[in-house]
A and B are shown apart, each in its own frame.
Chain A
């Protein structure tokens, strides 16, 4: 994985000292609440309902053992012994004290981490495919380009006060695991016939109150022009994006209102003017970064482990977990294992300090010291020898992270909701917990098959409800929590936005409503058809009829 050189290290160190100064100015009263607000937000420090919340960047979700131990240490020392992994591959601490934040940042800097631009109207942490580097279906390790973008976007002098926040995601695999089409800029790495790397670049996707699937601006931007093309998009957006209305400030609104064609033309014109500037990526810089993501020292193993096969035959529970939570690895004899942070009745994405420490130790022993955070809020062990998988799974069981529910109905994405968040209009976590209990039967879950269920506690859609096969949106109606249901959202290569099924349900009816949706699907599906495919075939009607028949 990437290691800071002396220049990267100086940036994060200086950032710690700068923020320490800003906190001191605030505590001395030299900065007003209003003036401090944008400064702390640029450093991922939010004022939540009950306390500050600190969001720490995990660039493209990759963590070393050392970093994971530090995240555990921070939770233990400065917070309430747990952290929350988010849909943007970050981690959030819910209870830090303002005076401690500079020390937390110094601790993070000591392991090459930071909270830079995890909030604010700037370019946020770049996300990527959690299987990057090990996926059987990828062209190249997408983290090479994620890291190049991370550096370029860090303290960008021109683009730190954009109309609104700006999110970039990169994937290099056929199966889009990074939901790139739901980002302000989505990047898909391609190879042309000559074997050269290039990028399909999309802009204007997003969730929020106006969900949009990003249209493609350019199908093949040459490798060396990645930064110039992104800079062109950002400049057009910074100059023309709306600043008069918070809800219309994202780039997707600009793309929609100018039209894709006109927007693309502006970007291409700007790009033509700057592509031969200092933004052109030198081959040696790409090579320097690529070297950090070279494949690790794999052992020469048989493609199929006999030990693994034996355990699969012997242990039914392990076999069940394996069929859901293990993925194909590009290196023979290795396997990708996903630890679930979605235990039945638990809070999606939460992880205790002890769990983090134990996970770090396991990663050291079984995964070449590396863990990945997924945008579905789970943790991936990318380099597991098939021979070791059974032992690793037993440790997962011990730690309560072995729920075999990857991509199943209880693998719920949920925002923190009204339990923590100042913007939320309803709670999300209790709904997620009740749903995971209602569908606790693993046999039933597996029978239902791949079904993404996402919950947001407000219109801002941090819980990605628009992209859920079943989406749930919490709304407030005369101080009562209600939940709107959307169907047909999807965040793969064939992304789509969910459609509202009808009037919202009160909190005591929403769980039954979801079950009804699932029942309709089970009755309608043909063969092994996934929920999303059934929905696309039969449409909204049968679901709607059943849901509102009793009313």
Chain B
């Protein structure tokens, strides 16, 4: 039977054996009854052992024996029998079981996320053709109210984090980035002063009232022409949707600094698309930002850092160069949108980050609205979009997105990562953010 592990099809090395069937040579899962009956014999086998629990067999019965099992398989006689949910939770939380917990039997894909939250790693499914359905189900919710045994943090904890955002340490992010052990470059710009942070926060609050009613182009105009004249930049990836914001800006100020991060790992198509848009829109101040050569030589000599420590790779190729490039400005404009999902689902239009004001004029735009804008203004599409790349970053870490997946599902696929970090690190240095 096909096995899904962490949302992907996985090779199942285990076999189930009935109580009177001969044991297999390899990893074998046996029932609780058989374990009780043949315990001594099972312990002398030279292969990993798994335990199968029926829905009326609580793990409390074998709590002391759990160390003997590499897998505990929980049976769902029907999806309505909710006991295995509690068993999974107790296995992890109460008995500290570290091996694989799998579920099998009659399970709906709509239950997958719950199981995942309770520490179930794998599920035996009936039909591997439904893999995509199962995978989609895993991402259907991004906010959770209850503490689980997974890494997802409940809303209560996130709220506390937002409330204490001024504190410099962000343990959740340090863990994810694992860049803390690499010292910052010698020429890194200094951290923003508390005063600067407070000023940016105050501006965000004031702008929310003053400009809350404006459409995206009018908001951009107000920022460029009135509030931050000569002191604001646009950061663009020249990705699949970038043309919309670039077009708006080109109609307001073609000479606005447009910062483009060339990580030196981009698709050739992206560079060509950049040149095409620059020409068509008449943008006259596009600045290509590259990583520091010394830093790359030191930390990524063979160019394979992405495969070992993607976060550190993003750090030296995107986060640090952008931080340097943004240093002269008090504000910047980004093209992020809420519909892009995950952390972006709660994106405010105006926010404060790293002592700067950050404008996300398209935060509330839907895919339909963007499509219409492309049509109406005759804008060219990124050449890779037709090939199924809906969100485009660096070549090694960008994958196609399957229909039904969220648009950023192809970014750092298979890793617990969905942002590069340029929109993350400094965000903590803000008191408030404001959704318009």
Contact = CB atoms under 8 A, between A and B. Distances in A.
A10 B80 CA distance: 27
Given A7-B155, A155-B141, A156-B146, A238 B163 contact: no
B133 to A, nearest CB: 8
A279 B156 CA distance: 10
Contacts of A163: 82
A17 B154 CA distance: 21
Interface string A1-24: 000011111110111011001100
Nearest to A30: B133
A80 interface: no
A284 B163 contact: yes
Contacts of A273: 94
B142 interface: yes
Contacts of B141: 11, 14-15, 18, 155
B148 interface: yes
B31 to A, nearest CB: 20
B405 to A, nearest CB: 12
Contact of B58 (A10, A22, A121, A239): A239
Interface in A1-54: 5-11, 13-15, 17-18, 21-22, 35, 38-39
Nearest to B58: A239
Contacts of B79: 38, 161
A322 B267 CA distance: 75
B159 A278 contact: no
Given A6-B435, A10-B345, A158-B118, A152 B82 contact: no
B120 to A, nearest CB: 10
Interface stretch (B109-117, B220-228, B291-299): B109-117
Given A161-B81, A284-B160, A277 B142 contact: no
Given A155-B144, A157-B148, A243 B345 contact: no
B85 A238 contact: yes
A155 B156 contact: no
B34 interface: no
B89 interface: yes
Interface in B328-374: 345-346
Contacts of B115: 157
Contact of A17 (B80, B118, B140, B144): B140
A151 interface: yes
Interface string A157-175: 1111111000000000000
B396 interface: no
Interface in B103-161: 108, 110-111, 113-115, 117-118, 136, 140-148, 154-160
A277 B80 contact: no
Interface string A54-83: 000000000000000000000000000000
A423 B367 CA distance: 44
Interface string B8-44: 0000000000000000000000000000000000000
A159 B85 CA distance: 8
Contacts of B89: 158
A154 interface: yes
Given A6-B435, A13-B345, A14-B345, 10 more contacts: A7-B155, A11-B145, A14-B141, A14-B142, A156-B145, A157-B113, A157-B117, A238-B82, A238-B86, A239-B86
17 contacts: A5-B159, A7-B143, A10-B142, A14-B143, A18-B140, A152-B145, A154-B145, A156-B145, A157-B117, A157-B146, A158-B89, A158-B146, A159-B82, A159-B85, A162-B82, A239-B86, A277-B147
Interface of A: 5-11, 13-15, 17-18, 21-22, 35, 38-39, 121, 151-152, 154-163, 235, 238-239, 243, 273, 277-279, 282, 284-285, 288
